[in-house]
Amino acid sequence: MIRGQIRTYIHLVGYAGQVRTLSENRHAHRETQGLAGARVTQLENEASSFSSSSLLPRPMEDVSISGTPSSPQGPQNASFSSTVTTGTSLNRSTEGSSSQEEMEKSGGGSNLENLHIDLLDEKVELLISFLLQKYQMREPVTKADMIGNVVKEYKDDFIEILRSASERMELVFGLDVKEVDPISHSYTLANKLGLTYNGMMSDQQGMPKTGLLIIILGVIFMEGNCATEEEVWKVLNMMDIYSGRKHFIFGEPGRLITSDLVKEKYLEYQQVPTSDPPRYEFLWGPRAHAEVNKMKLLEFLAKIHGTNPKSFPSQYEEALRDEEERARARIEATAGTSAMASASSDFSHPY
């Protein structure tokens, strides 16, 4: 039941943020084989139809004559910039003998390939559940664990399966899957952006809520550092998250974002000045300002859109200023520590 809910939620988040399954990526790749002119028209139509339902404001981009956006990250309708690429083991069934080519022409090879990719998507979902269980138990996980317990006979596709699962863990749950030992191939899961909050109970039951927090912080940032309650809920409703309706990951979302995250000082929730009837808005709280690097957040949001941070000019400039301020603060802190150490040494050795 839980795995089915996770699958549904991943697809909803994927719709909002343009994250695709392996099979959807493969289908999208085939569509790019048409004429450049048709591709340009397709991209323009997609941008127009998607603008009202994207997870966050879309960047402005030019489309080159080749039919691809000018961004080095690739087409806007692609998955994460590090998405599973084509030309891997997934298309091995289309290479080889002429009989295989004839099968593909008749549709047989294509059907077999689609079945294979569907099975890989199933493995991705199983691996997500397995990784979440390890995270809840605070246990590291190895490549051998993942292959032995989940991937099994599809070990030749392990890299693609892990990459796809990692991308979804990143967006949906706000978790980074990191390899900590390249020799033993040991991995750990860490909160994205260095956040010190995951929203889980002290006994580690439930699921991490970091992903929702990152999405809300992203909406606020993209809306000029202040987002109305209506703007935030518009995005969350796209992900089938509604105030007053219990969510299998986030519990009662209204309480989580207007109370719990406010108490944790990640959000500020206040009445819009002079509003009558009263309306409310969200801002970053002091803990968010202390922990979140705006450039890293913007890189994450750009990754969702399949573009790069410079596609959001005003936010990019703000993120650069934030990095400069953080760098100065680190230098000042280091200088202060050195001065204190020097003064202490002089006091201890006056002669």
* CATH number of the domain within which 293 lies: 1.10.10.1210
pLDDT category at 75 given cuts 50, 70, 90 is: very low
pLDDT at position 6: 61
Give the count of alpha carbons within 13 A of 339, CB side only. Answer: 6
**179 and 213, same domain (yes or no):** no
**226 and 285, same domain (yes or no):** yes
The answer to the question of residue 307 being in a domain is yes
The answer to the question of residue 338 being in a domain is no
Looking at per-residue confidence, does 257 or 345 come out higher?
257
Number of structural domains (the chain) is 2
The answer to the question of residue 272 being in a domain is yes
Is pLDDT of 71 > 50?
no
The answer to the question of residue 106 being in a domain is no
**256 and 185, same domain (yes or no):** no
Q: Where is average pLDDT lowest: 61-70, 211-220, 254-263, 319-328?
A: 61-70
The answer to the question of residue 259 being in a domain is yes
Q: Which residues contact 99 (CB under 8 A, 6 or more apart)?
A: none
**219 and 301, same domain (yes or no):** yes
Mean pLDDT for 162-191 is: 90
**255 and 183, same domain (yes or no):** no
The answer to the question of residue 217 being in a domain is yes
Percent of the chain with pLDDT over 90: 38
**184 and 262, same domain (yes or no):** no
- The parent domain of residue 292 ranges over 209-332
**237 and 317, same domain (yes or no):** yes
**277 and 182, same domain (yes or no):** no
